[in-house]
Amino acid sequence: MGYYKTEKINDWLYAIYDPGDVYIYVILGNNAAVVYDTGYGTAPIIPTIREITGQDMPLICILGHGHVDHACGAYQFDAAWIYKPDLELCRRHTSRTARKYAINMIAERGGHLPPNFDEETYIHSGVCELKTLEIGQIFDIGGKTIEIINMEGHTHGSIGVLVREERALLTSDASNLQLWLFLEESTSKDTYIAMLKRNLNLDFDTFYIGHDTKPFDKSWFHKFIQVAKNANIAQSVPFPRLPERKGMKYTEGDVSIVISEDKL
């Protein structure tokens, strides 16, 4: 068995599970494939992608945002597209310091590194050429039209990809069952809520997130909005990750948001 596990979601969409507990998505067109997010990149990902696409199909790498668990595999591509507000964040999160942190984080989450993992090579692998996206930019991959959607909140430069023909939106961490909005690079709560309300007007029926392959109905956006509106410090519990940010987790049912006082 290989390090990565591939799941066919439907004829045009595959998810590749990174044992660091994050998913890499492959959107198939007739002429090219979009690779949305790249995981931690601790093992070669291109061979697994080629099992889906075949050897000759062009690959377009798009990063949903700049965080370590979504961008560190980008070094294995010739180039990756990212929205400009997350450009410097991506560079920081693919640095040597960030990669050392990533190795520790995978262990903390109960994940495992690949056999014969070369820590020094990984730490110094850097990042590929980063190209900057425009909101509304279109990638025509043959039978599938991919549109870049502004999804600011989790980070200022978070973007989703809308697959128009399939009425499906891929959101990385921009909409999530547990949304982190307590980071330095996160927006305010009001900005996040406004983003969700705006994107409810998009033509999609289902969406896919970065840490689960379940197809979520669009109506979940209403749940996310309600939880964010109600979030407050008094009814929250301390969040253990990144204690210096003093994150507080607010939960309603199966949806939670991690906030900090400076984001309220």
Tens-place pLDDT, residues 52-81: 999 999 999 999 999 999 999 999 999 999
Judged against a pLDDT cut of 80, whether residue 29 lies above it is answered with yes
Confidence of residue 93 (pLDDT cuts 50, 70, 90): very high
Interatomic CA distance for residues 59 and 21, integer angstroms:
23
Q: CB of 176 within 8 A of CB of 21?
A: no
Confidence of residue 107 (pLDDT cuts 50, 70, 90): confident
Cβ count near 194 (within 10 Å): 15
**Across the chain, how many H-helices and E-strands are there?**
7, 17
Q: Please, what are the domains in the chain?
A: 5-263 (3.60.15.10)
- Asked whether residue 109 carries a pLDDT value surpassing 90, the answer given is no
Q: Is 11 in contact with 36 (CB distance < 8 Å)? A: no
Q: Is the pLDDT of residue 154 over 80?
A: yes
pLDDT, tens digit, for every residue of 169-214? Answer: 999 999 999 999 999 999 999 999 999 999 999 999 999 999 999 9
Give the per-residue pLDDT at 226.
Answer: 98
- Model pLDDT, residue 141: 98
The pair of three-digit structure tokens given for residue 38, joined into one six-digit string? 């790249």
How large a percentage of the chain has pLDDT more than 70? Answer: 100
Q: What CA–CA distance (Å, rounded) separates 74 from 82?
A: 11
Mean pLDDT calculated for residue range 253-262:
97
User: For position 111, what pLDDT does the model report?
Assistant: 82
pLDDT, tens digit, 9 for 90 and up, residues 212-247: 999 999 999 999 999 999 999 999 999 999 999 999
1 pLDDT higher than 80: no
Q: Please give the mean pLDDT across all residues of the chain.
A: 97
Residue by residue, DSSP assigns 159-195 as: EEEEEGGGTEEE-TTSS-SEEE--STT---HHHHHHH
